[in-house]
Amino acid sequence: MLQTVYGTSNIVWANVIGLVLFFLTVGYFLGGWLADRYPTPRLFYGLVSLAGFCAIFFLLLASALLRWAASALAAVNVGAILSSLVGVMVALAVPITLLGCLSPFAIRLGVRNVEEAGRISGRIYAVSTWGSLMGTYLPVLWVIPQAGTRMAALFFGGLLLVVGLVGLWASDRRAGMVGLLLPLLLLPFVLLWTRGGVKDLPGQIFETESAYNYIQVLRQGDCNYLLLNEGQAYHSFYCDGGRVPRVSVWSIMLAAPFFNAAPAQVDNLAVIGLAAGTIPKQFSQVFGPLPVDGIELDPAIVQAGRDYFALNDPNINVIVGDGRYELNRLPGRYDVITIDAYKVPYIPWHLTTQEFFQEVRDHLNEDGVVAINVGRVPTDRRLVEAMTATMLTVFPTVHAIDIPGSLNTILVATMQPTTADNLRANLAALPAGTDPLLIAAIETAAQNLVPAGASDVIFTDERAPLETIVDSLVLRYLLEQGPAGLPGLGG
């Protein structure tokens, strides 16, 4: 639910996990106190029923708040975004605190004498941990991909509510009758808060929730755009008939092989972060139907690509899996490898390290090049400089291209020592009839070359403080420029 608005950075995860642990701690204390004062099955099953009720009510309330937050994010309304986040955290507090009450209460009811305390508590903790395992894997692998987050809340909360009501009925029929009011009270909220989509942005033609992402497809004019999670950037686009309306971040990747001495040649391509296929489709347009191995983590994104972005070219071999792992399984070498695996504004850290780039080097031909999309802000290039420094430990030359109208820099590393003059010489030597997209991409790259400054930070598998750098530069930029400085969909 949270990643649809706030993304999946380490900060989001840390806050969610930390708050869950805090609310559980409060629940443990409260449950132990209640169990000693009122050690009755009726109260215990009443708490179970109430926890199930609150799991449905407050998680659906959180989804409604997040839908409001999504609209606020689209309008870059920081006050509404922050207030909705506070509301979501408060909504989490009630069901999680109630769930925390149950374990100490169950132990208190189960232990009849001191001699069996260890056996009973061990059994209850084993059952509890087994439930945690089921609660970890079932939503991710089955319920959320099949039914979405709101229905997952309804399913698991309803299961808990049924268990509580059955126990309440068995322990006290009168209390059980009163407990039956809980599902009746829930009914209007379930009908109200499970209707409609997760988001409803202008032009939205598709949305779904996968095991990894919240996925949207928007249509503007004759083009479809792929948005993920918080939706502050688009990850692929496709216009009717394959039209490319302008030079984009992905178009600049076309210029990467032309940093080699003339004549530049591209016979094959590997893409880490395929998304819906914009990079290989533009390479295929310019260089012909060359063999492409495209790696994408999320199969639901691949399916959206096939349905809405014409990702059906026979020359594109789609590989579903983690970029680094799948790259190391590929037997061949490539003229170009591109990397664009953002979860905005973060690159997965394991795709930024010295060891990773050594693995990339091992999959490049003698004159191969690698191009990676890196974020920055106008006054802070620390991430770009750290990435440059890291790549220079593996490759002899790194070139930097600032994409106009965006907060992106394309870093191009070459297997051979190269200069920017090669790019200009290749541009001048392009034959008549060259695809205009390639000409525009190389011209844009040549006009926006910047010095590839390197810092003293080297990312390694042992230590890659990527998110620390990104968090600080984003915060600094927001403090200096305000949210209006963030690029939107049309940027």
pLDDT digits (tens, 9 = 90+) for 140-163: 788 877 777 788 888 999 999 999
Is 0.85 surpassed by the pTM of this model? no
**pLDDT band at residue 73, thresholds of 50, 70 and 90?**
low
β-bridge mates for residue 399, sequence order: 412
pLDDT in tens, 371-383: 999 988 877 889 9
* Low-confidence winner among 79-83, 208-212, 277-281, 452-456 (lowest mean pLDDT): 79-83
pLDDT of residue 208: 87
**pLDDT band at residue 488, thresholds of 50, 70 and 90?**
very low
Q: Give the right CATH number for 242-485 from 3.30.1330.90, 1.10.150.300, 3.40.50.300, 3.40.50.150.
A: 3.40.50.150
Mean local confidence (pLDDT), 460-471: 84
* Low-confidence winner among 90-94, 120-124, 205-209, 343-347 (lowest mean pLDDT): 343-347
pLDDT of residue 16: 77
**pLDDT band at residue 479, thresholds of 50, 70 and 90?**
low
**pLDDT band at residue 92, thresholds of 50, 70 and 90?**
confident
Q: Which residue has better confidence, 137 or 86?
A: 137
The full set of domain ranges for the chain reads 3-193, 242-485
> 333 pLDDT exceeds 70?
yes
**pLDDT band at residue 239, thresholds of 50, 70 and 90?**
very high
> 411 pLDDT exceeds 50?
yes
* Low-confidence winner among 75-79, 93-97, 323-327, 472-476 (lowest mean pLDDT): 75-79
pLDDT of residue 81: 54
pLDDT of residue 101: 93
pLDDT in tens, 414-433: 999 999 999 999 999 999 88
pLDDT of residue 50: 94
> 119 pLDDT exceeds 80?
yes
> 250 pLDDT exceeds 60?
yes
Mean local confidence (pLDDT), 100-128: 88
Average pLDDT, the chain: 86
> 491 pLDDT exceeds 50?
no
- Could you tell me which residues come within 8 angstroms of residue 22 by beta carbon, excluding any fewer than 6 positions away? none
> 236 pLDDT exceeds 90?
yes
pLDDT of residue 489: 39
Q: Which residue has better confidence, 200 or 391?
A: 391
**pLDDT band at residue 269, thresholds of 50, 70 and 90?**
very high
Mean local confidence (pLDDT), 288-293: 96
